């Protein structure tokens, strides 16, 4: 009978002494792999998918332009807009924006500036082509159409 009354000699609580170590490890992981959000993106951003993706070796040369329908449709309408550094700009303002972005770089790197166009999938080519023409005039002719890796189904 005593065999059945015997109580198992086990503890139920999980040891938590190593939890800070684990959490710090996660913290450092995220600190290294992510970067600070500099702008609030005010346009819809659904990236297209592609297979032939390339990256740029020098990340500091990239400047971003966001194109898509505004998130606040009641305030800005539904037509796709161009966002550069927290403000909406017209295609005409692109040259000025490029020049201010170039001024941030070292003099030797200015002609190697790469514009990353983060364009929403539903934006139309008309607006993007207008931006491209202005970028040609601004002599910022290296373009990167931002896209995600296509997952084969």
- Alpha-carbon 55 to chain mean position: 13
- Residue 124: count other Cβ atoms within 10 Å of its Cβ: 11
Q: Coil, strand, or helix at residue 5?
A: helix
Q: Which of 51, 108, 151, 153 binds other proteins (CB under 8 A)?
A: 51
Tell me whether strands 49-50 and 148-149 are parallel, antiparallel or unpaired.
parallel
Q: Which of 5, 10, 30, 40 binds other proteins (CB under 8 A)?
A: 30
Instruction: Report, in Å, the least distance between residue 5 CB and other proteins.
Output: 39
Examine residue 54 and tell whether it contacts other proteins (CB under 8 A).
yes
Examine residue 33 and tell whether it contacts other proteins (CB under 8 A).
yes
- Residue 46: count other Cβ atoms within 10 Å of its Cβ: 12
Instruction: Report, in Å, the least distance between residue 143 CB and other proteins.
Output: 5
**8 Å CB contact between 108 and 79:** no
Residues 92-121: x where in contact with other proteins by CB under 8 A, - otherwise, as a string: ----------------------x-xx-xxx
Examine residue 153 and tell whether it contacts other proteins (CB under 8 A).
no
Examine residue 143 and tell whether it contacts other proteins (CB under 8 A).
yes
C-alpha 105/C-alpha 101 separation (Å) is: 7
**8 Å CB contact between 117 and 141:** no
**8 Å CB contact between 88 and 79:** no
Instruction: Report, in Å, the least distance between residue 7 CB and other proteins.
Output: 31
Examine residue 40 and tell whether it contacts other proteins (CB under 8 A).
no
Q: Which single residue is written with the structure tokens 């020049």?
A: 99
Q: Give the interface with other proteins as residue ranges (CB under 8 A).
A: 16, 19-20, 23-24, 26-27, 30-31, 33-37, 48-57, 59, 62, 114, 116-117, 119-126, 128-129, 132-133, 135-137, 139, 141-150
């Amino acid at each position: 009978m005593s065999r059945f009354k015997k109580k198992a000699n086990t503890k139920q609580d999980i040891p938590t002494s190593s939890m800070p170590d684990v959490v710090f490890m996660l913290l450092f992981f995220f600190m290294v792999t992510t970067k600070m959000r500099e702008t609030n993106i005010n346009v819809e951003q659904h990236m297209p998918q592609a297979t032939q993706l390339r990256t740029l070796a020098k990340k500091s040369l990239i400047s971003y332009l966001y194109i898509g329908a505004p998130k606040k449709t009641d305030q800005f309408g539904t037509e796709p807009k161009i966002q550069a550094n927290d403000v909406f700009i017209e295609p005409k303002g692109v040259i000025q924006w490029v020049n201010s972005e170039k001024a941030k770089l070292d003099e030797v790197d200015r002609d190697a500036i790469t514009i990353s166009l983060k364009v929403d999938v539903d934006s139309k080519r008309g607006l993007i082509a207008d931006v491209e023409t202005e970028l040609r005039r601004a002599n910022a002719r290296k373009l990167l159409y931002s896209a995600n890796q296509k997952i084969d189904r």
